[in-house]
Amino acid sequence: MSNYPTFSTYNGGTVMVTIPPGWFTYVSGLARNSFNQMIRLRVTNHIGTNTEHLFHSPKKPMETNEMMKLRRTHQDSYSICATTEAQHLELTSYYSTDPNIKGHLLEKNNAVVSSVAVLQTETPKHLLDRYPYYVTYLVFVQASPDQEETEYTPLYNDAVCTINLIKGTGFDHDGFPMDYDGSGGNETTDKVASNGSTTGSGNIAGGATSRGTNSGATTDGGSPGGRLSNTPLDVMLVQKCTSNQQPYIKALTDNIIDINTQIASGANLAPDALRLGLIGFRGTGDEYITKPFPFTTDASVMRSNLSSLVATGSGNGPEAAVKALDEALLSEWRIDATKMVILITDPPRHGIGESSDSSIRGSSAGEELLKIVRRMAELGITLHLIPCEPSLNISYSSTYDFYKAMTKITGGLVLPLASANGLADCIIGASLERVELGALTTKDGKMIARRVLFKNENPEALTEEYHARYTAADVTITTLEIKPVHAEQIEEVRYGEIDDMPAGVVTALPFLDAFAHLLIMLTDLVRMNVLGARLLPETASKPGPPSSVVLSQRPISKEQTGRIIALAITENAEVLASGKFIARPTIEDPVKNSCRINVPTGWYGFVSGLSRIKYNQAIKLCYSANDHSNTEFLTSERGQTDNIMRLKRTRQGFYIFAASEESSIILDTSFFWSRDNVKGSTLDKPQYCSEKLKVIRTQTPMHSRAFFPDYITYLIMAEDQPEADQIPGVPEFNDCVCVVNLIKKTPMVDNDEV
C-alpha cells in the first residue's frame, strides 16, 4: 500500500482515513454550534479496534466555538501512536437540537449529520528533505440538510474536526530506535509507564468575547459573584501505608466525606467538578509497592478505597514514593482541571542525602523524584507534601530541605503535622488555596510567562509588582496556619523572617547542584513573611501538643504571589535537569484583528489559511527573528466558500518556516476583508480590518509527549463584521480560519537530527 495518508468520505457524516505504517496521528474537534454534538472515533489496526468519543454538550445558550472533549479523560485531542502496520481511522459525526439527546444517545438515535467536506494541507513535496512530513485534514460538518449557503454563511458550519498526521523517522526524541508496535489510540498505559512519559494539555488560548477564557479571581477568593466555578478540580491523595501511618489513614477514612463536601462548597464547584483519587504505597519487598485507585466523583467510593488500605511494615527508602508519584503523574487527569497531588508520608531513611545515609552515592531515587516533579510542574500539577512525623526536623534535616525543593518546583507546600487531627483541614485548606491561586494564574499567567521566558524579566521584580496589584485590589486567599508542630515552635514564626532555602541544601544534596538557580529563583524570590504552616525551625526538641490547623481568608501574601509566578512559568516551559527553563510556544491575547505567536528556538512552523466566505479576504503574516523579517499574504478572492487561501507571491497554499537554532521567532497574524473590488495586500488598511478573533489551542495529549511528536496547533478564527451586522443564529468567528501547526525539532520527526 501507499506510504502516504489517504481519506475517503461516504455515508453522509463519515470520513475514513488510512494511516500508513510509521505515522503519528492526533484528532481534535471544535463544536461551532450550541446544540449537542459528538464525533465517534474508531481506530482499527493489527491489534484490534478501539472506539472513543469527542463530545460537546453545552450547558448554556450560545455556547459555541468550544473544544470537544473526550468523555473518558476530558482531553481535547485524541492521539494515535505509530505502528508497524497500516491503521484505519473512521470518523463519524452526530448532532441533535433536542437537549435531552446527548452523549451516547446521539449514536443510539442514529443522529448522523447530513454531510461533511474535507480540505487537505501538507508539507510541500520539494521541502520533504528538510522539514517534518505532515498532513492535515480539515473536516467541516453540515449538521442539518435544510441549510443553505449564502455569501455570508458557509454551508459546512456546525463543527470542524482536525486530523493531523506526522511521519516518524523510526527514532525517539533522543535519536534511539523506537518500537512502533503500539496499540494506537490513547490506550497506551503500559507503554507510558515503561517510558516514563509526561502529560500534555490542550485549552482555549485566548478570546475576544465573554465566551473566551481568563476568569479572574475575586476579592473573597471564590468564584465571581457567587457563581459556580467552571474549572474542575482533580485531587490525588498518595498515602504511605506503613505502620506509623495508621492514624493518618484512619483520619482520612473518617473525614473524607466532609473533606469532599467542604472543598466542593468552599470552591463553589459545579456538581461532579471535584474528583478524588488515591494511591497507597509501601516499601519494596512488601505485599505490594503501590495500590492505585482511579479518580471518582463519589466520596463514598473514595471512603471504601481508603478502608481497604492496611498499614503495616516500615518501608525505609524513597523508591516506593518514586513509583507512587510516577503513577500519580500518569493518572487520567482532566485536561481542563486544576490538578493537585497530596503526598502523605514519613521521612525516608535513605536515598536523599542524609549525612548518616551510606547509600546516597549508589541511589538514584532522589534524582528520579525530581524528574517526576519537574514533569508535574510542566503539566500544572501542584505537589503538596504532608510529612507526618515529629522526627522530621530532629533527625532528618536534609530530608526537609529536599521536601521543600520538591514542592517548590510545582508551586506547592510542605505542611508538617505531628498528629493526624489536623490532616483533613490541611487537605481542605491546600485545595481551596490552590483553586484560588489557579484563578489568578489563569488570569495573569500568560503575560507573566511571556515576560519571563521571552523578555527575560526578573521573577523577583514580577513578584513585587503583582503582589502590589493584588494588594491594591484587596485580593484575599484561603490561608493555612499550623500551630504548634514542636514545643519550640509556639513562638510566632508566622511573622518571622526566615531563609526559605537553607544555605547547606546544595552541599548536603549533591544531585541538587544542577537545580541550584532554579530552586533559588522559585523558593528565595524574597526573604519574606511566611506562614508557620510552611516551615519548621532548623532544630527542634521534643514533640509538642497535637497540631492545630486554622483556615482563614487573608490578604494574599508575597509568598503566595511568588507561587503564582512559579506556576505561570513552569506551565509554559520545559524544566530541564539542569534547572533551566526552556520556553514553549505561547500566543498573546488577540487585539482586534491581530494576534502574536511567540515561537522559541527549535520549532518548525506550518501555516495555512481557510476562507469560509465568498468575499475577498487576506491574512497578513509577519515573521521576525533577530534582524531578519518577512511579510507575506495568504489571500482569497470572491468565489467559493471553504477554500484554501494562497500566498500572493507564489500561489502556494501554505506558509512555512524552519526551526531556528539561534533566536526566538515572532509570528504576527492579521486578518482583513472587503466586499468591494479590493484584494490581496491592498486590504492591509484600517478600514478593512476584521472585527475580532478567537484562538483555540491543542497540543500533545496527556501521557504522550515522551513517545509522540511534540506539537502545538493554534486555530485562529476571525469574525469580520461588527456585532450589529451579524446574522441571528449563525455562530460567531465564522469567516476565516488560520491554522498554525508548530512541531518541535527532534530526531523523532527530523532525519537531519538523526
Domain boundaries, the chain: 6-213+589-744, 224-583
For residues 195-218, one letter each, b for 16 or more C-beta atoms within 10 angstroms of the residue's C-beta and e for the rest, the string is bebbbbbbebbbbbeebbbeeebb
The overall average pLDDT reported for the chain is 77
| Residue among 247, 241, 255 nearest 309 (CA) | 241
**Cα distance from N-terminal residue to C-terminal residue, the chain:** 26
pLDDT(541) > 80: no
For residues 468-498, one letter each, b for 16 or more C-beta atoms within 10 angstroms of the residue's C-beta and e for the rest, the string is eebeeeebbbbbbbbbbbbeebeeebeeeee
| Residue among 175, 173, 162, 177 nearest 84 (CA) | 177
Whole-number Å distance between alpha carbons of 204 and 716 = 11
| Residue among 725, 622, 696, 613 nearest 209 (CA) | 696
What pLDDT shows up at residue 440? 94
The mean-pLDDT minimum among 51-65, 106-120, 168-182, 541-555 falls in 541-555
| Residue among 40, 12, 44 nearest 27 (CA) | 40
Residues 6+ apart with CB under 8 A from 334: 73, 74, 75, 232, 234, 275
Whole-number Å distance between alpha carbons of 736 and 725 = 16
Set of cell numbers at residue 118 = 474535507
Question: What is the model's pTM?
Answer: 0.72
What pLDDT shows up at residue 503? 33
Set of cell numbers at residue 343 = 503526598
Q: How confident is the model at residue 43 (pLDDT cuts 50, 70, 90)?
A: very high
Q: In a 10 Å sphere around its CB, with 0-12 CB exposed, 13-18 middle and 19+ buried, how is residue 39 labelled?
A: buried
Residues 6+ apart with CB under 8 A from 600: 453, 454, 582, 583, 584, 585, 664, 665
φ, ψ at 593 (rounded to 5°): -105, 10
- Judging by DSSP bridges, how do beta strands 646-647 and 134-142 pair with one another? unpaired
Q: Determine the 3-state secondary structure of 556 from DSSP.
A: coil
Whole-number Å distance between alpha carbons of 700 and 722 = 35
Q: H helices of 314-422, where?
A: 319-329, 365-378, 392-395, 397-409
Predicted confidence (pLDDT) per residue in 244-296, tens digit: 888 899 999 999 999 999 999 999 998 889 999 999 998 766 677 889 999 99
What is the domain class of 224-583 according to CATH?
Answer: alpha beta
Q: Determine the 3-state secondary structure of 186 from DSSP.
A: coil
What pLDDT shows up at residue 57? 80
Q: Determine the 3-state secondary structure of 403 from DSSP.
A: helix
What pLDDT shows up at residue 181? 61
Whole-number Å distance between alpha carbons of 346 and 405 = 16
Q: How confident is the model at residue 547 (pLDDT cuts 50, 70, 90)?
A: low
Q: Do the beta carbons of residue 326 and residue 192 sit within 8 Å?
A: no
Q: Do the beta carbons of residue 672 and residue 179 sit within 8 Å?
A: no
What pLDDT shows up at residue 491? 37
Set of cell numbers at residue 197 = 512519559
